[in-house]
């Protein structure tokens, strides 16, 4: 199901706590290049973890320079493989795990080779490469069986279950899950984090099979165990699964109760990787309200997701699913403009997802999509049949006239919007100049010291034009101003009057407008290059946001700025 990303992280992080990989600097005594002579391998690892992409390559090369290839360096490779997996840099996580195979003969340590297979299997699984993932998990299982290491057998089988589930081989996944539950009593995993992970694992399979009573049975066992060891991520996962079950059973009071318990934990505790649980809670809360015909509350929870997500999140399946449910809600409210808007958004996002050759089988997701697509077809059919003949006859008689009229109006409208836009830019430049003059003495007067500090931090980042960086997102911005994402979102809403995405978009578009007006060389750039300069990964994304904010295409704006400067209507700048 769509909760899969959290599931693999939970299993990976929990089960990998069984064998530490930390190394000590005194264990290494390698000859290294003079430029980093004083650095130990462990210090290089710390530098790799804390550096940007360009610096990483230098430190990686230094690490490669160590001549001695033994267990110590093997543990370092495993440590880095796990680190980059958590960072979702799967190319590097696979790269470091593969290095274990290059020095396998020198290692003579099957435990490290086992862990390398697990890291690579998990990385391929996250990329949707199921057969490759299964092969590495199976190789890990064979090593564990040769060692007669029951805990490692459970770890390898946990990965196999996730692959089988995604390949829709649920009976085999369930068979292995039951074997693991029986075996875990003979291991140190019993009644610990890994035991809870097995409960979440088997519940995932039962949920896909639609065996809801079994889900509830194992969820309750997992919840009791999670409470006994204060495992918040386990509680969140299992409460959400119970909420989903009661949603499908149409027992909405029970569904709300469990989803709110998960929501409460997410709001009050830092469990890590909270994106997917939050999106799922919002979706199924909205789904319950939708089924009860409380469309306003459903829209409220879905819009909370839209405020929460960042640009790179829109292609993720539960987010796509939320777009479709929003469309349904608005169609039910007879708000066809909004309904069609969210339906178009869903269609575009889902089409991109379907083109991905490595897309993952997701039974619960497909069930929800099929249900809501059918409802939209029915709603649109009922509304359109009654008015189709009248609308089409009027449309045919007016179409030629409208084409000419709309073209004329569009040209006039563009001229007006362009003039208004120039006035706005001039005003912004004056205000920016005033702000720069006042900044030396002016201070922000707000009662709440924390809010004051965050707002000053935002002003500083604006002055530094941090918003132009493509990696600028809610999480990184929160770290820069030394707060959390929830608090930063609230402050931006309260003091900027917009959500985070709107805040960053406004800064980028205003910067682009002013620089295009004043910088002739910048106007000579391609739209793709301009987009990259202001922080967008594609020219389409930039053009779409530019037009949404200004009403004009970037090319129209640039062309008319050039025309005005040739006529000396506005001052020219180099």
Report d(CA 125, CA 7) in Å as an integer: 12
Does residue 386 have a pLDDT over 90? no
pLDDT for 404 equals 59
- pLDDT tens figures, 149-205: 999 999 999 888 888 887 888 888 889 888 888 888 899 988 998 899 888 888 888
Say how far apart CA 325 and CA 294 lie, in whole Å: 13
Query: What's the rounded mean pLDDT across residues 48-64?
Result: 64
How confident is the model over 438-463, as pLDDT tens digits?
554 444 445 578 899 999 999 999 89
The pLDDT-based confidence of 566 (bands split at 50, 70, 90) is confident
The residue with greater pLDDT, 27 or 426, is 426
Alpha carbons 166 and 255: distance in angstroms, whole number: 25
CA–CA dist 138, 62 (Å, integer)? 33
Q: Mean pLDDT: which of 102-106, 197-201, 251-255, 343-347 is highest?
A: 251-255
379 or 527, greater pLDDT: 527
Q: Is the pLDDT of residue 292 over 60?
A: yes
* Calpha distance 32→492 (Å, rounded): 48
What tokens were used for 73?
Answer: 């360096």
Helices (H) and strands (E) in the chain, counts: 27, 0
Q: What is the pLDDT of residue 170?
A: 85
For the chain, percent of residues with pLDDT exceeding 90: 25
Q: What is the mean pLDDT of residues 285-304?
A: 94
Residue 65 in tokens: 């320079």
pLDDT band at 17 (very low <50, low <70, confident <90, very high): very low
Structure tokens at 46: 């710390």
- The pLDDT assigned to 383 comes to 57
Q: Which of 343, 295, 299 is nearest to 320 (CA)?
A: 343
Q: 367: Cβ–Cβ under 8 A, 6 or more apart, which residues?
A: none
Sign of the Cα torsion 163, 274, 314, 54 reads negative
In the prediction, which pLDDT does 71 show?
78
Kindly report the length of the chain: 574
Mean pLDDT of 500-520: 90
* Cα separation, 150 vs 19, whole angstroms: 13
Cα separation, 8 vs 201, in Å, equals 9
Query: What's residue 28's pLDDT?
Result: 40
Q: Which residues contact 305 (CB under 8 A, 6 or more apart)?
A: 278, 279, 282, 283, 319, 322
pLDDT digits (tens, 9 = 90+) for 69-81: 667 778 888 888 8
- Torsion angle of the four alpha carbons 244, 475, 269, 482, in this order, in degrees rounded to the nearest 10: -160
Collect all residues with Cβ–Cβ distance below 8 Å to 563 and sequence separation of at least 6. Answer: none
- C-alpha to C-alpha distance for 148 and 138, rounded to whole angstroms: 15
Banded pLDDT at 309 (limits 50, 70, 90): confident
How far apart CA 199 and CA 196 sit, in angstroms, is 5
Give the tokens for residue 203: 């519940």
Report how far residue 482's alpha carbon sits from residue 449's, in angstroms, rounded to the nearest whole number.
13
Check residue 13 and give its pLDDT.
47
Q: Which of 303-312, 469-478, 558-567 has the highest mean pLDDT?
A: 469-478
Looking at residue 51, its pLDDT comes to 66
- 516 with 557: CB under 8 angstroms? yes
DSSP letter at 3 equals T
What domains, with CATH codes, occur in the chain? 274-399 (1.25.40.10), 412-566 (1.10.10.60)
Burial 397-409 (b: 16+ CB within 10 A, else e): eeeeeeeeeeeee
At residue 258 the predicted structure's pLDDT band, cuts being 50, 70 and 90, is very high
Instruction: Flag whether pLDDT at 573 surpasses 70.
Output: no
User: What mean pLDDT, rounded, does the chain reach?
Assistant: 80
User: Which of these, 494, 551, 531, 510, lies nearest to 426 by C-alpha position?
Assistant: 510
CB 117 within 8 A of CB 136: yes
């Amino acid at each position: 199901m769509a909760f899969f990303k959290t599931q693999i992280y939970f299993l990976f992080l929990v089960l990998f706590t069984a064998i530490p990989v930390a190394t000590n600097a005194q264990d290494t005594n390698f000859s290294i290049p003079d430029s980093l002579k004083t650095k130990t391998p462990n210090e290089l690892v710390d530098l790799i973890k804390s550096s940007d992409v360009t610096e990483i390559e230098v430190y990686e090369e230094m690490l490669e320079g160590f001549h001695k290839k033994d267990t110590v360096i093997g543990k370092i490779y495993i440590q880095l493989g796990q680190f980059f997996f958590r960072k979702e840099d799967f190319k590097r996580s696979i790269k470091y795990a593969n290095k274990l195979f290059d020095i396998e003969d020198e290692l003579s340590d099957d435990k490290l080779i086992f862990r390398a297979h697990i890291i690579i299997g998990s990385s391929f699984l996250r990329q949707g490469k199921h057969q490759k993932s299964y092969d590495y998990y199976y190789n890990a299982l064979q090593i564990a069986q040769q060692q007669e290491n029951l805990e490692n057998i459970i770890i390898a089988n946990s990965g196999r279950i996730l692959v089988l589930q995604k390949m829709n081989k649920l009976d085999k996944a369930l068979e292995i899950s039951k074997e693991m539950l029986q075996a875990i009593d003979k291991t140190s995993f019993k009644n610990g984090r890994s035991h809870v992970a097995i409960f979440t694992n088997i519940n995932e399979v039962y949920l896909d099979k639609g065996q809801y009573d079994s889900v509830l049975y194992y969820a309750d066992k997992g919840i009791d165990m999670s409470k006994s060891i204060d495992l918040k991520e386990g509680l969140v996962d299992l409460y959400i699964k119970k909420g989903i079950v009661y949603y499908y059973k149409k027992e909405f009071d029970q569904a709300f109760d469990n989803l709110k318990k998960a929501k409460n934990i997410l709001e009050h505790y830092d469990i890590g990787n909270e994106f997917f649980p939050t999106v799922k809670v919002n979706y199924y809360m909205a789904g319950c309200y939708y089924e009860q015909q409380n469309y306003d509350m459903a829209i409220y929870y879905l819009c909370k997701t839209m405020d929460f997500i960042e640009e790179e999140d829109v292609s993720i399946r539960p987010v796509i699913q939320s777009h479709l449910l929003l469309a349904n809600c608005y169609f039910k409210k007879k708000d066809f403009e909004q309904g069609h808007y969210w339906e178009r958004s869903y269609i575009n996002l889902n089409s991109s997802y379907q083109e991905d050759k490595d897309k993952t089988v997701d039974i619960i997701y497909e069930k929800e999509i099929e249900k809501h697509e059918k409802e939209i077809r029915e709603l649109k059919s009922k509304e359109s049949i009654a008015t189709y003949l009248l609308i089409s006859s009027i449309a045919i008689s007016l179409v030629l006239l409208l084409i000419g009229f709309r073209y004329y109006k569009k040209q006039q409208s563009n001229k007006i919007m362009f003039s208004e836009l120039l006035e706005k830019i001039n005003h912004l430049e004056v205000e920016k100049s005033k702000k720069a003059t006042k900044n030396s003495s002016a201070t922000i007067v707000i009662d709440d010291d924390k809010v004051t500090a965050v707002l000053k931090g935002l002003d500083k980042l604006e002055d530094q034009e941090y918003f132009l960086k493509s990696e600028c997102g809610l999480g990184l911005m929160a770290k820069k101003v030394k707060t959390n994402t929830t608090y930063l979102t609230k402050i931006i809403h309260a003091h900027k009057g917009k959500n985070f995405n709107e805040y960053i978009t406004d800064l980028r578009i205003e910067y682009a407008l002013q620089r295009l007006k004043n910088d002739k060389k910048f106007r000579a750039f391609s739209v793709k290059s301009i987009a990259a300069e202001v922080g967008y990964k594609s020219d389409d994304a930039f053009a779409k946001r530019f037009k949404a904010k200004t009403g004009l295409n970037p090319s129209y704006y640039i062309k008319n700025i050039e025309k005005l400067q040739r006529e000396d209507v506005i001052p020219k700048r180099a």
